[in-house]
Amino acid sequence: MAPLVLRTVAETAAWAESIRRSGRRLALVPTMGYLHDGHVSLMREGRGRADVVAASIFVNPTQFGPTEDLSRYPRDMEGDLAKCASAGVEAVFAPEPSEVYPPGFQTYVEVTQVSQGQCGARRPGHFKGVATVVTKLLCLFKPHVALFGEKDYQQLQVIRALERDLNLGVEIIGMPTIREADGLAMSSRNAYLSPEGRKQALALSRGMAAAQALYRQGTREVPVLVSAVRRELEAAGLREDYVELVDATSLSPLSTVSPGQPARLLVAAFVGTTRLIDNQPIGG
Ligand code: AMP
């Protein structure tokens, strides 16, 4: 069945309240739309963990920098609603920016530690925008559970921190990255890639696989593991934004991977003007 489309904060609050008051568990999947199988995996998991699944489709202006791709971010509301319907989503919050940020809006959420490095350092203000909109969505829906992808690994840590620090009482679920058959992590931004860029983009997953292979052969020195990723990026003609191997929770850089310490390899690189990110666990 086609999902109910909610355009305003007032109707969304009333709808979510009616679900909770009927005693049903509510799951929320926040997205920026142009949905793919990664988003759908979160929706399906939500169905397993709750009675009712809601999604939001909102290209959040406060998480884009002034020179970023806000105005050209891909959109397809009709296709998205069809995917939501087939994933069993009952309601979709799809507001105008002025509904989320009305005149006089002045309250922002800042997660000070895990937001600092990696994407936070390269995209000033990005995680402040993410943290603010996710907090607003969690306060609006008051879901029992909210689902996010490990594809955006730093973002997931930011959301875990804000939920905990603000006592929001929502169970935050992180879901594995869904990939194309050849290894490329699914992303709405893959739509920007030319056929040639699409091939070059495989260097991210190939580089991470090379680092993983070295780790399995016994390499524990982070500079060596990171160099393996860099070699693949360079060979494919990609411009590195960062390659870091960090503690999986604090996201602090490591110099060696110690036994039993969960670590995460985080990669960001430009394919032409398109910035892609990917990550995977190492060791642990
Ligand atoms: P976005 O629309 O890109 O803001 O993503 C919405 C949610 O889907 C976020 O929690 C993302 O981490 C998640 N997501 C995006 N791509 C993937 C993927 N390939 N696999 C799993 N989850 C994803």
Predicted model pTM? 0.98
pLDDT-derived band of residue 259, with 50, 70 and 90 as boundaries? confident
- pLDDT tens-digit map of 73-90: 999 999 999 999 999 999
The residues of the chain that CATH labels 3.30.1300.10 are 188-279
Q: What is the mean pLDDT of residues 170-193?
A: 98
- The CATH number corresponding to 188-279 among 3.30.1300.10, 3.50.50.60, 3.40.1160.10, 3.40.1390.10 equals 3.30.1300.10
- Centre of ligand 1 from the C-alpha of residue 151, in Å: 6
- The residue to mutate among 36, 42, 56, having the most atoms of ligand 1 within 8 angstroms of its beta carbon, is 42
pLDDT of residue 117: 98
* Assigned superfamily of 4-175: HUPs (3.40.50.620)
pLDDT-derived band of residue 1, with 50, 70 and 90 as boundaries? confident
Residue 34 CA, closest ligand 1 atom number: 2
- The residue to mutate among 39, 155, 158, 170, having the most atoms of ligand 1 within 8 angstroms of its beta carbon, is 39
Distance CA 226, CA 231 (A): 9
pLDDT of residue 281: 97
Contact 29, 146 (CB under 8 A): yes
Residue 233 has pLDDT above 90, yes or no: yes
Residue 7 has pLDDT above 80, yes or no: yes
Q: What are the beta bridge partners of residue 147? A: 173
For this structure, is 36 an active site residue? no
Residue 114 has pLDDT above 90, yes or no: yes
Q: What is the mean pLDDT of residues 213-228?
A: 97
Residue 222 has pLDDT above 80, yes or no: yes
CA atoms in the 13 A half-sphere facing the CB of 180: 14
Backbone angles phi, psi at 70, to 5 degrees: -50, -50
- Centre of ligand 1 from the C-alpha of residue 99, in Å: 23
pLDDT-derived band of residue 284, with 50, 70 and 90 as boundaries? low
CA atoms in the 13 A half-sphere facing the CB of 207: 34
Look up residue 182 and give its amino acid. D
pLDDT of residue 283: 80
Give Cα 61 distance to the centre of its chain.
15
- Centre of ligand 1 from the C-alpha of residue 134, in Å: 13
The residues of the chain that CATH labels 3.40.50.620 are 4-175
